[in-house]
Amino acid sequence: MARIVYLNDGFVSEVEARISIFDRGFLFADSAYEVTAVLDGKLVCWAEHFSRLQRSLDALGIMLPLTEKELLNLHRELIKKNKLVQGIVYLQVSRGCADRNFIFSDSMKPTIVLFSQREELLDKKRLERELRVVTVPDKRWGRRDIKTTQLLYSSMVKTEAKNIGKDDAWLIQDGLVTEGTSNNIFIIDKEKKIITRDLSNLILAGVTRSTIITFMEQLGLELDERPFTLFEAQSASEAFITSATNFVTSVVEIDGKLVADGKPGPLTKLIRESYISYCFEYAV
Ligand code: PDD
């Protein structure tokens, strides 16, 4: 069945939604996006997704013509119109349309798109997946803190990983792990210390990342936000990735080397369960 999507000024069927070939999102990947999980028809970590969107748009100099409340209501209306119980809402804001020109004016009318996707986010097999990853050089641009739709490198290396029977690629820069193609990375050392890359322009400030960090202390876990090497990751006692769509998922193999005994670890499971409870409690 055709979905109802939102485009600029209203809701339309996905088969009728049309965007201009002059849209700078299409021509220059000149756009920011958010992917928000939906559980029981409610949005997970809405406020955090909105503030990151605002940060991305501020960095790009794109003016969002909607308030937080208006955008939240559009998300809710979209969920309702599509009877979405579990899945995601994808939001993209591009700078808008103009003749192709590297120089953009600051008075453009942004293009706003929202669509939903049904996904079994809580499917047990999906939640308990054991990821096998390979590493590749991080050749993305230097402003990974802005969530732009410039995702080609990540898409290429993830596809290459899939083609050799692996699940994802981890990106390495100057001998240090930055992040996964579409997720943040955590490792747990032998002393049960949780290590994740500190925030900078080199990685995206994941909403799932920052949310699980807020309850580390409550779980009696110590956190160290710092760069780490591939060797540290391969020698860890547990490793996992975080993202809006994969929550907290175990990584059991990195470049052919098993992480500990190659089985998902107990702390990863504990953090995942705490995160999912949090999602249900605070979804709006
Ligand atoms: N990706 N790092 C990158 C490069 C990402 O693209 C993402 C999310 C994350 C995790 O962020 P969050 O926890 O806020 O989802 C980290 C989304 C899910 C995507 O592109 O589909």
- Kind and range of the H or E element at 225? strand 223-225
Give residue 205's pLDDT. 98
Which amino acid appears at position 196 of this protein?
T
C-beta of 243 in contact with ligand 1 (< 6 A): yes
Ligand 1: residue whose CA is nearest its atom 2: 183
Pocket test for ligand 1, best of 33, 183, 201 (most atoms within 8 A of CB): 183
Å from CA of 63 to ligand 1 middle:
22
pLDDT tier at 284 (50, 70, 90 boundaries)? very high
pLDDT tens track for 129-175: 999 999 999 999 999 999 999 999 999 999 999 999 999 999 999 99
pLDDT tens track for 19-32: 999 999 999 999 99
C-beta of 253 in contact with ligand 1 (< 6 A): no
Å from CA of 140 to ligand 1 middle:
14
Name the more confident of 260 and 107.
Answer: 260
C-beta of 209 in contact with ligand 1 (< 6 A): yes
The total of other beta-carbon atoms located within 10 Å of residue 30's CB is 20
Residues 52, 71 contacting (CB under 8 angstroms): no
d(CA 277, CA 182): 23
- Kind and range of the H or E element at 172? strand 168-173
Give residue 163's pLDDT. 98
DSSP character for 23? B
C-beta of 244 in contact with ligand 1 (< 6 A): yes
Does residue 147 carry a catalytic annotation? yes
pLDDT tens track for 201-212: 999 999 999 999
- Residue 135 half-sphere exposure toward CB, CA atoms < 13 A: 21
